[in-house]
């Protein structure tokens, strides 16, 4: 019995209402853009709907029934997220808008308190802009320097200079767990061990990994982990910063306002306890509830099963893509990456690839995927990207390939 | 067959007119659309009456951006700079003869943006 036969794609597809729609009359949707945002199962949509229909109230301070219910739902979501990533405590789970805001929270709070002129911050060449720009801003403000881990031709981190970089005693090493372009799964645990030995903390962008593979923060080696709800079957507008409790305790608050305070005087305030210290203002409550339902959905399916399914899909997709003349796929081999395939087709701009595929209802992305420096590294103005999730099937890979042959015919 | 890749657009994409560079040129301007990686440069030579005597475009990008640039170069031969400054986006879309969403509109209009910046004598940004 193969792993695939234990993974019931048809049942999973049926859980996602949008997957049964037609993009245009007679053209069913083939959604290959989950690295940008995932689709949502009915359970998530219904949880948010129910919240607004039955339980809507502001959280934490009210004593009436709805306020207590809403608080229990929101905090229940936090407990689910904590369990999902094996956090030691819900105090370590800070809700943000998305991974980008989570990274910015660290840059503003921890960064401004701990990074000084001349300090080094390490980034990598394969980062999403959200794990580059906050550090560029911090470095510019503080007079800190950025050290870069380059990428090899094969799309993996080139760690040959990492020891030299660590000689500079950087304060922080920032890296993605899984590249949103190349699909590369980075050896975070090994890198973190070295970074820690050199006295650096480690921030991991988990926007692409947490939705797609089992992530355990107690073994990962990261000190900070950022991820987004909308890429893991949840709604937009909710994301997570996980960090070690001791770090969060020492960090100054980020945004000021309601909920993040214990006591306010006219000229000063006392910050609230974790995790509320970092959550100013009325949060995205319904979105939190939706994320809780998404975590339930993924837990019910099993992250190991999700990862195994995507490994099979990407292995098949790479095999089929490579047989199309003129196609170049970027990034490592299937066994070293997640379900993301960025590719080009000789003589055809990625926009045109995406546009022609769209006629057959196939949704792929074209552009730089918020990783301009990485595209510069490979001297590519843009790539087309097909990205897969638990609801994708081998048949959809076949449809992609068939679509690419149509593109070739049109532009040939 | 949908309109976006109608024969005339594919023809201009595959066989761009006035493709290349002019050196020296009286007017030369280049710009890109960093979101999709399209890049277009347009070089112009003018006659004594300030009319376009020669035009060349270069760059890379999607079929829509390249075809619109190619069509535009044919359109502006013999025109004065003042006439070029008055070319509207509707004229470019008419040349292409297709309907475009907001994202592809940027591709279609990059060449006009470059041409007009040149005609207005703007300096290239970085």
Is residue A174 annotated as a catalytic residue, yes or no? no
The whole-model pTM stands at 0.94
Give me the domains of chain A, ranges plus CATH numbers: 3-31+302-411 (3.90.1150.10), 45-300 (3.40.640.10)
Distance between B17 CA and the closest CA of chain A, angstroms = 17
Structure token pair of residue A296: 């339930």
Write out chain B residues lying below 8 Å of A366, CB-based: 36
Which pLDDT score, from 0 to 100, does residue A6 have? 61
Angle at which helices B7-14 and A394-411 cross, to 10°: 70
Structure token pair of residue B94: 């008419």
DSSP notation for A142-204:
HT-EEEEE-B-TTSSB-GGGHHHHHHT--SEEEEESB-TTT-BB--HHHHHHHHHHTT-EEEE
Give the 3-state secondary structure of residue A87: coil
pLDDT per residue of chain A (412 residues) written in tens, 0 to 9: 344 446 888 899 999 999 999 999 999 999 999 999 999 999 999 999 999 999 999 999 888 999 999 999 999 999 999 999 999 999 999 999 999 999 999 999 999 999 999 999 999 999 999 999 999 999 999 999 999 999 999 999 999 999 999 999 999 999 999 999 999 999 999 999 999 999 999 999 999 999 999 999 999 999 999 999 999 999 999 999 999 999 999 999 999 999 999 999 999 999 999 999 999 999 999 999 999 999 999 999 999 999 999 999 999 999 999 999 999 999 999 999 999 999 999 999 999 999 999 999 999 999 999 999 999 999 998 999 999 999 999 999 999 999 999 999 999 8
Which pLDDT score, from 0 to 100, does residue A234 have? 98
ipTM, interface predicted TM-score of the complex: 0.86
Is the CB of B5 less than 8 angstroms away from the CB of A410? yes
Is the CB of A352 less than 8 angstroms away from the CB of B10? no
CA-nearest residue to B100 within chain A is A355
Is the CB of A355 less than 8 angstroms away from the CB of B14? no
CA–CA gap between residue A308 and residue A317 (Å, rounded): 14
Chain B CB within 8 Å of residue A356 CB: yes
Strands A201-205 and A172-176: parallel
CA–CA gap between residue A214 and residue B3 (Å, rounded): 45
CATH of domain B3-119: 3.90.1010.10
The H-or-E segment that residue A243 falls in is strand A239-243
Q: Which of these, A277, A287, A284, A285, lies nearest to A252 by C-alpha position?
A: A277
Structure token pair of residue A405: 């042959």
φ and ψ at B23, to 5 degrees? -140, 110
Cα radius of gyration (chain A)? 22
Is the CB of A372 less than 8 angstroms away from the CB of B35? no
Phi-psi region at A331: left, alpha or beta (left = phi > 0; alpha = psi -120 to 50): left
CA–CA gap between residue A234 and residue A294 (Å, rounded): 5
Structure token pair of residue B24: 């020296």
């Amino acid at each position: 019995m193969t792993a695939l036969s234990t993974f019931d794609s048809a049942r999973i597809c049926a859980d996602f209402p949008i997957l049964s729609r037609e993009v245009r009359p007679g053209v069913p949707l083939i959604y290959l853009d989950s690295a940008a945002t995932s689709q949502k199962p009915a359970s998530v949509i219904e949880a948010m709907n129910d919240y607004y229909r039955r339980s809507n109230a502001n959280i934490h301070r009210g004593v009436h029934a709805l306020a207590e219910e809403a608080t229990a739902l929101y905090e229940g979501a936090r407990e689910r997220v904590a369990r999902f990533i094996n956090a030691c405590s819900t105090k370590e789970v800070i809700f943000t808008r998305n991974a980008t805001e989570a990274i910015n929270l660290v840059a503003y709070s921890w960064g401004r308190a701990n990074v000084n002129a001349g300090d080094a911050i390490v980034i990598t060449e394969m980062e999403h802009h959200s794990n580059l720009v906050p550090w560029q801003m911090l470095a510019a403000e503080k007079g800190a320097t950025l050290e870069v881990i380059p990428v090899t031709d094969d799309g993996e981190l080139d760690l040959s200079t990492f020891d030299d970089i660590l000689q500079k005693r950087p304060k922080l090493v920032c890296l993605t767990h899984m590249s949103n372009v190349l699909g590369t799964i980075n050896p975070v645990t090994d890198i973190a061990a070295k970074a820690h030995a050199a006295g650096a903390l480690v921030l991991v962008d988990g926007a692409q990994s947490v939705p797609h593979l089992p992530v355990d923060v107690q073994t990962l080696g990261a000190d900070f982990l950022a991820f987004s709800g909308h890429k893991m079957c949840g709604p937009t507008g909710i994301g997570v910063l996980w960090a070690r409790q001791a770090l969060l305790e020492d960090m100054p608050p980020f945004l000021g306002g309601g909920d993040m305070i214990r006591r306010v005087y006219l000229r000063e305030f006392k910050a609230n306890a974790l995790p509320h210290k970092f959550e100013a203002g009325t949060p995205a409550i319904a979105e939190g509830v939706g994320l809780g339902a998404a975590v339930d959905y993924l837990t019910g399916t099993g992250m190991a099963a999700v990862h195994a399914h995507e490994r099979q899909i990407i292995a098949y997709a790479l095999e089929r893509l490579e047989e199309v003349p003129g196609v170049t796929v970027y990034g490592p081999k299937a066994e070293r990456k997640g379900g993301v395939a960025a590719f080009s087709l000789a003589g055809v701009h990625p926009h045109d690839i995406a546009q022609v595929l769209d006629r057959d209802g196939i949704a792929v992305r074209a552009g730089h995927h918020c990783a301009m420096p990485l595209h510069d590294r490979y001297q590519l103005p843009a790539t087309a990207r097909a990205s897969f999730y638990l609801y994708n099937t081998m048949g959809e890979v076949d449809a992609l390939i068939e679509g690419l042959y149509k593109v070739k015919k049109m532009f040939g | 067959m949908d309109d976006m890749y109608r024969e005339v657009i594919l023809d201009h994409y595959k066989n761009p007119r006035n493709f290349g560079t002019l050196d020296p040129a009286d007017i030369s301007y280049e710009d890109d659309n960093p979101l999709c990686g399209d890049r277009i440069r347009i070089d112009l030579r003018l006659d004594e009456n300030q009319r376009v005597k020669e035009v060349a475009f270069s760059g890379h990008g999607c079929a829509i951006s390249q075809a619109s640039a190619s069509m535009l170069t044919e359109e502006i031969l013999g025109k004065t700079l003042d006439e070029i400054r008055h070319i509207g986006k509707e004229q470019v879309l008419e040349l292409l003869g297709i309907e475009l969403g907001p994202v592809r509109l940027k591709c279609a209009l990059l060449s006009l943006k470059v041409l007009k910046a040149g005609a207005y004598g703007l300096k290239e940004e970085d």
